[in-house]
């Protein structure tokens, strides 16, 4: 019997290198209560686990593997879901999916109508998730990339238009009947009965989706806007029916209110859906850049195939005026390519054999043959789209707070509605009609939707705007922290400078200039440091043939050494020479000081422990560095420059940029420590670096801003990636982040203000003094417009141009 209760699953595990690893995982799993059997296949990297699902969940098994020091591989799917209107809807879907065994994590974005699910495909399938979503009362529109989504959304919107039209016509007829003289009616037909007959078909048609959604929400033990609205329109219509058939007084005629309420809710959702569709236009625009087909050579023949059928290694042909379908490397031909969609530069880039090509850029004037290197989800454009979508699905802390408030919102409003009804009818002695009108108005005017949409709509539009500008904001946390920044720390090489240093000075001692360059370049050819590349480039320019080098070694940011022609050559900075006890004469110190005071780097060369020369290398500042630094300082931020250069060189460069805060002689591995030191002093720090060499510092910073080079969009470290490699985008990224956070706060203010102001009016607090009440149909219209207002405010971010602000 026990075996029948158990389930068996397989988990993909990475990081195992030997049988000991497998044994460690097995032991960790068998220590879990509920695990009967655990076997690890090292070759397949699979852990097979037999367990009791009554005692254990998949997440417990995953955590046991992680605690043992290994990684569990999961799949990730983006599901499209229709019918979500507020945070309560998102919570309902999230809770339902998280109950499925095998689902690891669920994140729901109401605005983009996407559900991001991390799951174990060997335990739970997409079809099971689809069934769960539909049972929760929402429409499953397919997984990301399926064409079904747009078709279903169009059908839903078309259906809403028909319902709105029917509701508007019926409401007009009902309003007209209210003023029709009784004498115009047949004797046996009362006005109330006529209104009932006119209202019933329209009300049923309009309210069916609302009541259906409410039923499914209650079935899933979830209170949302549909439940409240169903109560409001249900009470209004039912009391009207009771008035018609003399159970209640004939004054209880809310037919026109019930129909108008259902119409206004449908109208609000139609407008809201239409506006929400515009929030993701940036993603659609990026997707629209992709080519649909490619011309490839297969079996010696040139054929045209779908873009999805291109594989790595294919020879692709692209003619003038055509889009380059995938990423690749030129193997034949020369042409200019328009890369403005990535680099922002309007001038086409010359491409020849060996040049890299980026998919979706445009070939201008000649035929190119290239080898496909990245296809499908691995292309630069696909990575940009994925980063933007994931960022739009993330939640900043301020949204988590709003979501928490919304969970208490509906119970609170239901309590207010009940208290209002009881107070007016039983305590203040008002009529039952007044008390029930107040109850209906409160139920339909309270709107958690506006609160739920305030943040995600602004995040979606703001991140999309950033993508249009070549600024990839990877998560909501980066947005939120960018607003709080107090300091920006720039790496010097490749960030403030062009990262392409050139040799400017060669000062040999007791050796010829060419011999000094030959010895230095023969050692440096083993290094990929920018300074090493400058020396090698100098040797190539002078036509110097390099010698073989042996026993190459590095000294962590201080220099290198190797044997050339049986002589030990050491190349590095003053610190390394002091450690190696290589003496530097006073007259040489003066020459070093002169080079460094000009903002250049002095590279010292010793041969057999004797200082044999100095090579001065300059890395030119980017044209936009000074302008960007000035703008940041004018905005009140502290600007720091960090570099491995000595203080004299660093000070000379900083002086040109007007930077007063200099961190010099910092080894690469110590940059993260300097970031942490500033944080310990109370600073909220952004670190700006190249994303590869500066990965630890980018990860340590509150906001890591990685400057890419057009193809480096997949940089893991850093919350923001600047695709265009333009330092001015640091300023734009911070401005945009601040604007988005400002808009989120405005949205939340209006959402809170709306509910705070109008719920008391609906409850009748102004009636004793001013005689002001709020009819249910006006309350319904106000409710519908509140969500539309918040979404519209978010859409205004599309007009924001940080370059002009």
Whether residues 38 and 114 share a domain: the answer is no
Burial class (CB in 10 A: 0-12, 13-18, 19+), 524: buried
β partners of residue 626:
none
Res 282: pLDDT: 65
Q: Are 117 and 103 in contact (CB under 8 A)?
A: yes
Res 180: pLDDT: 67
**In the predicted model, what is the mean pLDDT of residues 120-132?**
84
Q: How far is it, in rounded angstroms, from Cα 743 to Cα 396?
A: 13
Q: How far is it, in rounded angstroms, from Cα 252 to Cα 445?
A: 20
* pLDDT > 50? residue 567: yes
Of 29, 45, 72, the domain-final residue: 72
The token duo for 59 is 């997440």
pLDDT band at 2 (very low <50, low <70, confident <90, very high): very low
pLDDT digits (tens, 9 = 90+) for 205-219: 999 998 988 887 787
**In the predicted model, what is the mean pLDDT of residues 282-288?**
70
Res 84: pLDDT: 82
Is 290 within the bounds of a domain?
A: no
Q: Are 436 and 238 in contact (CB under 8 A)?
A: no
Q: Which residue has the higher pLDDT, 550 or 268?
A: 550
* pLDDT > 60? residue 148: no
Res 732: pLDDT: 94
pLDDT band at 575 (very low <50, low <70, confident <90, very high): confident
How crowded is the C-beta side of 239, counted as CA atoms within 13 Å?
22
Res 152: pLDDT: 66
Whether residues 546 and 593 share a domain: the answer is yes
Complete edge-to-edge strand list for the sheet that includes strand 559-564: 502-508, 610-618, 601-607, 567-572, 559-564, 549-554
* pLDDT > 90? residue 521: yes
CA–CA distance from 64 to each of 11, 58, 218, 755 (Å)? 12, 10, 36, 46
Domain that holds residue 413: 379-469+735-804
Res 144: pLDDT: 67
Res 560: pLDDT: 93
Is 297 within the bounds of a domain?
A: no
Res 187: pLDDT: 47
Q: Which residue has the higher pLDDT, 177 or 567?
A: 567
pLDDT band at 316 (very low <50, low <70, confident <90, very high): very high
* pLDDT > 70? residue 497: yes
CATH number (domain holding residue 361)? 2.70.150.10
Res 146: pLDDT: 47
Residue 707 CA from chain centroid, whole number: 17
* pLDDT > 50? residue 78: yes
Is 799 within the bounds of a domain?
A: yes
CATH number (domain holding residue 722)? 3.40.50.1000
Whether residues 422 and 569 share a domain: the answer is no
Q: Is 670 a catalytic residue?
A: no
Contacts of 447 (CB under 8 A, 6+ apart): 225, 751, 754, 755, 783, 786, 787
Q: Compute how many other C-beta atoms are within 10 angstroms of the C-beta atom of residue 14.
A: 10
Res 99: pLDDT: 86
pLDDT digits (tens, 9 = 90+) for 722-770: 888 789 999 999 999 999 999 999 998 888 888 888 899 999 999 998 9
pLDDT band at 343 (very low <50, low <70, confident <90, very high): low
Of 116, 145, 174, the domain-final residue: 145
Whether residues 175 and 102 share a domain: the answer is no
Whether residues 722 and 689 share a domain: the answer is yes
CATH number (domain holding residue 566)? 3.40.1110.10
* pLDDT > 90? residue 220: no
pLDDT digits (tens, 9 = 90+) for 618-635: 888 888 999 999 999 999
Is 23 within the bounds of a domain?
A: yes
pLDDT band at 784 (very low <50, low <70, confident <90, very high): confident
Res 376: pLDDT: 86
Res 280: pLDDT: 64
CATH number (domain holding residue 91)? 3.30.70.100
**In the predicted model, what is the mean pLDDT of residues 546-550?**
91
N-terminal to C-terminal alpha carbon distance within the chain: 71
pLDDT band at 189 (very low <50, low <70, confident <90, very high): low
pLDDT digits (tens, 9 = 90+) for 448-457: 777 777 888 8
Whether residues 512 and 604 share a domain: the answer is yes
Helix locations, 179-280, DSSP H: 191-219, 225-244, 255-279
Which is catalytic among the residues 226, 327, 403, 491?
Answer: 491
pLDDT digits (tens, 9 = 90+) for 456-475: 888 888 888 888 888 888 88
Res 527: pLDDT: 86
Q: What percent of the chain has pLDDT over 70?
A: 91
Phi, psi of 621 (to 5 degrees): -65, 145
3 state SS of 257: helix
pLDDT digits (tens, 9 = 90+) for 222-236: 777 788 888 889 888
Give the pairing of strands 139-143 and 75-82.
antiparallel
Phi, psi of 292 (to 5 degrees): -95, -25
Is 288 within the bounds of a domain?
A: no
Res 692: pLDDT: 57
Res 714: pLDDT: 45
Q: Are 20 and 28 in contact (CB under 8 A)?
A: no
Res 372: pLDDT: 94
* pLDDT > 50? residue 789: yes
* pLDDT > 80? residue 639: yes
Q: What percent of the chain has pLDDT over 90?
A: 32
Res 524: pLDDT: 92
Res 188: pLDDT: 47
Whether residues 67 and 112 share a domain: the answer is no
Is 346 within the bounds of a domain?
A: yes
* pLDDT > 60? residue 21: yes
Q: How far is it, in rounded angstroms, from Cα 339 to Cα 327?
A: 12
Whether residues 172 and 254 share a domain: the answer is yes
Is 295 within the bounds of a domain?
A: no
Res 254: pLDDT: 82
**In the predicted model, what is the mean pLDDT of residues 274-303?**
79
pLDDT digits (tens, 9 = 90+) for 61-70: 888 888 877 7
Res 15: pLDDT: 65
Res 710: pLDDT: 46
Res 3: pLDDT: 53
pLDDT band at 424 (very low <50, low <70, confident <90, very high): very high
Of 620, 635, 662, the domain-final residue: 620
- DSSP assigned state of 51: E
Whether residues 772 and 636 share a domain: the answer is no
* pLDDT > 50? residue 191: yes
Whether residues 696 and 637 share a domain: the answer is yes
Which residue is associated with the tokens 């009967």?
36
Whether residues 80 and 135 share a domain: the answer is yes
pLDDT digits (tens, 9 = 90+) for 683-714: 999 999 875 567 788 888 999 998 875 445 54
* pLDDT > 80? residue 556: no
Q: How far is it, in rounded angstroms, from Cα 25 to Cα 23?
A: 5
Least Cα distance to 118 among 102, 96, 133, 140 occurs for: 102
* pLDDT > 80? residue 94: yes
Contacts of 167 (CB under 8 A, 6+ apart): 202, 206, 259, 260, 262, 263, 266
Q: How many domains does the chain have?
A: 7
Whether residues 93 and 180 share a domain: the answer is no
Range scoring the smallest mean pLDDT among 44-48, 137-141, 290-294, 312-316: 44-48
């Amino acid at each position: 019997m026990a075996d029948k209760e158990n389930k068996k699953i397989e988990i993909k595990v990475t990081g195992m290198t030997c049988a000991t690893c497998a044994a460690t995982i097995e032991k960790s799993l068998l220590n879990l209560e509920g695990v009967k059997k655990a076997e690890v296949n090292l070759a397949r990297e699979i852990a097979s686990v037999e367990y009791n699902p009554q005692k254990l969940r998949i997440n417990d098994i995953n955590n046991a593997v992680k605690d043992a020091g290994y990684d569990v591989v999961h799949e990730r799917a983006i599901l499209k879901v229709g019918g979500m209107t507020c945070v309560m809807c998102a919570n309902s879907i999230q809770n339902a999916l998280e109950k499925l065994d095998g689902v690891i994590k669920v994140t729901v974005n109401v605005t983009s109508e996407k559900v991001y699910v991390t799951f174990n495909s060997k335990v739970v399938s997409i079809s099971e998730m689809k069934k769960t979503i539909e049972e929760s009362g929402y429409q499953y529109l397919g997984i990301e990339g399926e064409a079904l989504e747009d078709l279903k959304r169009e059908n839903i919107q078309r259906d809403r238009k028909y319902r709105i039209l029917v509701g508007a016509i019926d409401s007009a007829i009902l309003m007209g009947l209210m003023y029709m003289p009784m004498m115009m009616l047949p004797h046996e037909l009362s006005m109330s009965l006529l209104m009932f007959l006119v209202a019933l078909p329209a009300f049923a048609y309009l309210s069916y989706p609302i009541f259906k959604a409410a039923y499914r929400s209650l079935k899933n033990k979830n209170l949302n806007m549909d439940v409240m609205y169903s109560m409001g329109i249900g009470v209004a219509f039912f009391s009207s029916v009771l008035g018609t058939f003399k159970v209640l007084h004939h004054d209880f005629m809310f037919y026109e209110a019930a129909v108008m309420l259902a119409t206004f809710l449908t109208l609000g959702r139609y407008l809201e859906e239409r506006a929400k569709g515009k929030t993701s236009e940036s993603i659609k625009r990026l997707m629209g850049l992709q080519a649909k087909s490619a011309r490839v050579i297969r079996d010696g023949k040139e054929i045209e195939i779908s873009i999805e059928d291109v594989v790595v290694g294919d020879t692709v042909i692209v003619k003038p005026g055509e889009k380059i379908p995938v990423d690749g490397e030129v193997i034949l031909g020369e042409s200019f390519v328009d890369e403005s969609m990535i680099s922002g530069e309007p001038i086409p880039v010359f491409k020849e054999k060996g040049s890299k090509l980026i998919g979706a850029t445009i070939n201008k004037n000649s035929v190119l043959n290239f080898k496909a290197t990245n296809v499908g989800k691995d292309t630069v454009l696909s990575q940009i789209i994925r980063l933007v979508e994931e960022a739009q699905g993330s939640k900043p802390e301020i949204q988590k707070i709003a979501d928490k408030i919304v969970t208490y919102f509906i119970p609170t409003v239901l309590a207010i509605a009940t208290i209002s009804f009881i107070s007016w009818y039983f305590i203040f002695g008002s009529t039952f009609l007044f008390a029930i009108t107040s109850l209906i108005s409160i139920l339909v005017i309270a709107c958690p939707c506006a609160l739920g949409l305030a943040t995600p709509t602004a995040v979606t539009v703001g991140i999309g705007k950033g993508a249009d500008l070549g600024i990839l904001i990877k998560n909501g946390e980066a947005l939120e922290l960018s607003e709080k920044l107090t300091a920006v720390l720039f790496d010097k090489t490749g960030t403030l400078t062009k990262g392409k240093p050139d040799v400017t000075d060669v000062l040999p001692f007791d050796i010829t200039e060419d011999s000094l360059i030959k010895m230095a370049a023969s050692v440096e050819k083993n290094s990929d440091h920018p300074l090493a590349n400058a020396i090698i480039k100098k040797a190539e320019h002078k036509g110097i043939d390099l010698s073989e080098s042996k026993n190459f070694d590095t000294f962590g940011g201080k220099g290198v050494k190797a044997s050339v022609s049986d002589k030990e050559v050491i190349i590095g900075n003053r610190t390394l020479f002091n450690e190696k006890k290589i003496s530097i004469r006073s007259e040489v110190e003066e020459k070093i000081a002169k080079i460094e005071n000009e903002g250049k780097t002095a590279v010292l060369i010793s041969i057999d422990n004797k200082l044999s020369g100095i090579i001065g290398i300059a890395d030119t500042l980017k044209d936009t560095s000074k302008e960007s630094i000035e703008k940041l300082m004018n905005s009140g931020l502290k600007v720091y420059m960090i570099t491995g250069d000595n203080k004299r060189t660093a000070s000379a460069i900083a002086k040109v940029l007007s930077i007063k805060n200099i961190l010099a002689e910092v080894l690469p591995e110590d940059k993260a420590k300097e970031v942490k030191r500033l944080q310990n002093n109370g600073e909220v720090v952004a670190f700006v670096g190249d994303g590869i060499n500066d990965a630890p510092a980018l990860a340590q910073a509150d906001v890591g801003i990685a400057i890419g080079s057009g193809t480096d969009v997949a940089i893991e470290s850093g919350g923001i990636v600047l695709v265009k490699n333009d330092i001015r985008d640091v300023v734009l990224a911070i401005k945009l982040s601040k604007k988005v956070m400002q808009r989120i706060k405005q949205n939340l203010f209006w959402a809170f203000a709306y509910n705070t102001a109008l719920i008391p009016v609906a409850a009748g607090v102004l009636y004793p003094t001013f005689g002001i009440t709020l009819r249910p149909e006006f309350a319904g219209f106000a409710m519908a417009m509140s969500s539309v207002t918040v979404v519209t405010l978010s859409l205004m971010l599309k007009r924001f141009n940080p370059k002009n602000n």
